[in-house]
Amino acid sequence: MPYFEGSDGARLFYKDWGSGPAVVFSHGWPLSSDAWDVELKLLADNGFRAIAHDRRGHGRSEQTWAGNDMDTYAADLSALVDGLGLSEVVVVGHSTGGGEAVRYAVRHGAGKVRKVVTAGAVPPVMVQSDKNPDGTPLSAFDGIRDSVLGDRSQYWKDLAVPFYGFNRDGAAVSQGLIDDFWRQGMNAGLASAYDCVKAFSETDFTEDLKALDVPILIAHGDDDQIVPIHDSAAKTAELVKYGTLRVYPGASHGIHGEYQQQFDRDLLDFLRS
């Protein structure tokens, strides 16, 4: 299996499929690059080089004690791009990975990144504060941390239900998706999964979004129960210079089903434009 050295020498796993213009994917919490497999194959089949890594502490990557923060995540992504000698890349990020992609593009990607795509992404900032009164209260994230510490195996099973919108009336529940969410979650290290809650909820990307100087496709489901659209994509679209907001009616946080089919078509169109 291929590995690269992260920004501090951590041993991190990645996938590299196909050939052509490079598209680099960052996954959500608590998942791994496996969450992007459908998109990786789709792009590789359509003339792109599709690359995705397991964030430190997730999947097959080293479970580091330090560096479980957004600045290090972005630096790790930079190490991957530079290590592979990539240029003119498109970075794609879901949820936590959307924040990682935006921070990477602004802090490390000048002259290397030509486009950004986010889906269900956490920017500008999730946690409630005086500056962000519409955000999610800190107590909710404290509850997530308590669940991760208390019984993360059961928590991943429980979290998968709203993640994919399976708690909605008439939803076609996939036990396979729930099981796969659990599988990927259980491959995340405890310390890394715990620390990542602070990274995805408290990191403020407002200035990153204002500084972003390349086109960005901002994809989001309007029934996202994990990262509510009104406090994320809607605000992101107002902060960036060259943004396109694509709202998917009834879509959940997890990319699956009809939402995935629509998103994948939009992704290919955006890459080719």
Residue numbers annotated as active site: 95, 224, 253
* Residues 6 or more apart whose Cβ sits within 8 Å of residue 233: 118, 121, 218, 219, 220, 245, 247
Listed as own residue / partner, the contacts of 193-197 with beta carbons closer than 8 Å and 24 or more positions apart are: 193/29, 193/30, 193/57, 193/58, 193/148, 193/152, 194/145, 194/148, 194/149, 195/57, 195/68, 195/69, 196/29, 196/30, 196/55, 196/57, 196/68, 196/96, 197/29, 197/141, 197/144, 197/145, 197/148
Buried b (16+ CB within 10 A) or exposed e, 223-260: bbbbbbbebbbbbbbebbeebebbebeebbbbbbbebb
C-alpha dist (Å) from residue 257 to 28, 163, 184:
18, 13, 19
**Residue 158 region, left (φ>0) first, then alpha (ψ -120 to 50), else beta?**
alpha
